[in-house]
A and B are shown apart, each in its own frame.
Chain A
Amino acid sequence: MIEPSTPTPEPMTHAHAFWRGTLAMFGVPALVLYAGILGYGAFAREAGLTLGQALALPVFLQALPAQVVLADHAARGASLAAAALAVTLTAVRFLPMTVVLMPWLKGHRGPRWHELLAVHFVAVTVWIEGLRRLPKVPPEVRLVSYLGMGSGILAGTLAATALGYLAAGTLPQWMAAALLFTMPLTFLLAMVETARARSDQLAIVAGIVLAPPAYLWFPGFDLLVTGLVGGTLAWALGRRRRG
C-alpha cells in the first residue's frame, strides 16, 4: 500500500488548496469524462427523465456508469429492488478505492465526518487525480483540496449533463445519435484501459457476449444476470489461471 510520504510541500491556505483542486478538474482527464457526460445527458432525456432528475443523479451517485444503469432501469420500469441491486453491484468497487485513498485524507484537524463528505467524490476520474495530486499538497489541507476537486468535477458534470440534455432536443438526429454513441464507447474503452487483471478482461468479454441473450430472455434483470453469471465465470477462470 502507498503511504503518505514525508517531504514537506510549501504551506498553503485552505482557500488556495480548494481552488487549486477545483481548477484541476478542468484539465484533460476530466474533459474526456465530460464528453461522456454529454452523452449521459442526451441518454437521460431519451430515457424519459426530467432535466431535474437528470441533474439529481450525478449529485446522488457521482458515478457515471451507475447513473446510466439507474436511468436505464427507470426507463424500463424495473422494480426499485432490481435497480438498487444492479447499482450497488457497480458501486462495490468504491470500497477498495476509498480504502486506498484514505491515507491521503487523514492529516486534517477537522471532525471525522468531513472525511465521509469527501469520499462522496470517490469515482474513477477524481480518484486517479487525487492519488496523483494529493501527495504534492501539505497534509493538513489535503482533505480541503480533495473537496475542491470534487466540487470542480460536480460543477463540470452538471454543466455537461444540462448541455447534453438540452442539445439532444435541438440537434439533428444524426448528431444526437453520435452524442449517444460516445458514451458506451467511452465506458468500454475506459474499462479496457484499467482492466489489468485477467479476470477483469474476461469479465468484459463475458459481459459483451451474454448481454444480448440476457436482454431477450430476462428483460428487466438482464444486467444483473449478465453481471452475476459473466462476472462469476470470469472470476472462476481467472482464479484457475492464478492457480
Chain B
Amino acid sequence: MSSLPGVWGTWGGYLPFFIAGFLACEPWRWGGALIGRDLDPNGEVFIWVRAVSSAIVAGLVTRLVVFPTGALAAISAPTRYAAAAIGIAAFFAFRKNLGAGVVAGTLALIAGHFTIG
C-alpha cells in the first residue's frame, strides 16, 4: 500500500510515476534518436539546459544534506557538513577520484557520528 500524499498515492501508485517519469524523460531520448546528426550539441540552448540541469541536481544534493529526512536526520548538522567537505576535499586530493571522495566522506560521517555526535 502506498502512503504517498496527493496524486502519488492514487491511480494504483504507478501511473503518476509513469506520467511524470517516463513521459517526462523518454521524449528527449527519442528526439535525439530522430534528429540524429542534424543538431549541434554545443549550441547555446544546450549550454543553458545543461546549466539548469546541473543546478537542479546540485540543489537536490544540497537539500538532502542540509534538510535531511529519515535516518540521515539523526546525524548532527556539523557532522553532515564536515563529512561532505571531507568527501569533496578527498575527491580533489586524489585527482578527481570518485571512489576516494565517496569512501572518505562516508567514513567521515560515521566517525563524526560516534565522536562529535
Contacts and interface: CB of A to CB of B under 8 A. Distances in A.
Interface of A: 1, 32, 35, 42-43, 46-50, 52-53, 56-57, 60-63, 65-70, 72-80, 83-103, 115-116, 119-120, 122, 168, 173-174, 176-193, 195, 197, 199-200, 202-208, 210-212, 214-215, 222-224, 226-232, 234-235, 238-239
Contacts of B116: none
Contact of B48 (A75, A85, A181, A235): A235
B55 interface: yes
A53 B60 contact: no
B55, B56, B114: which has the most chain A beta carbons within 10 Å?
B55
A208 B62 contact: yes
B37 to A, nearest CB: 7
Interface residues of B, number: 79
Interface string B56-71: 1111111111111111
B4 A231 contact: no
A79 B32 contact: no
Contacts of A228: 52
A225 to B, nearest CB: 9
Contacts of A80: 7, 16, 19-20
B5 A76 contact: yes
A74 to B, nearest CB: 4
B29 A184 contact: no
Nearest to B7: A80
A207 B36 contact: no
Contacts of B22: 60-61
Q: Please classify the interface of chain A as helix (H, G, I), strand (E, B), loop, or mixed, using the class held by over half of its residues.
A: helix
A74 B7 CA distance: 8
Interface in B49-102: 49-72, 74-75, 80, 83-84, 87-88, 91, 96, 98-99, 101-102
Interface of B: 1-8, 13-14, 16-26, 28-33, 35-37, 39, 41, 44, 46-72, 74-75, 80, 83-84, 87-88, 91, 96, 98-99, 101-102, 105-106, 109-110, 113-114
B interface: dominant SS: helix
A203 B58 contact: yes
Contact of B56 (A53, A102, A227, A239): A227
Q: Of residues B5, B14, B18, B58, which shows the largest number of chain A Cβ atoms within 10 Å of its Cβ?
A: B58
Contacts of A70: 17, 20-21
B24 A88 contact: yes
Given A102-B36, A177-B72, A88 B47 contact: no
A94 B28 contact: yes
Nearest to B65: A184
Contact of B32 (A95, A168, A173, A193): A95
6 contacts: A65-B57, A93-B50, A95-B28, A176-B70, A184-B61, A189-B102
Nearest to A227: B56
Given A94-B32, A191-B54, 11 more contacts: A48-B2, A120-B26, A180-B68, A183-B64, A197-B47, A203-B55, A223-B59, A226-B59, A227-B53, A231-B52, A238-B51
Contacts of B18: 56, 60
Contact of B60 (A1, A84, A100, A223): A223
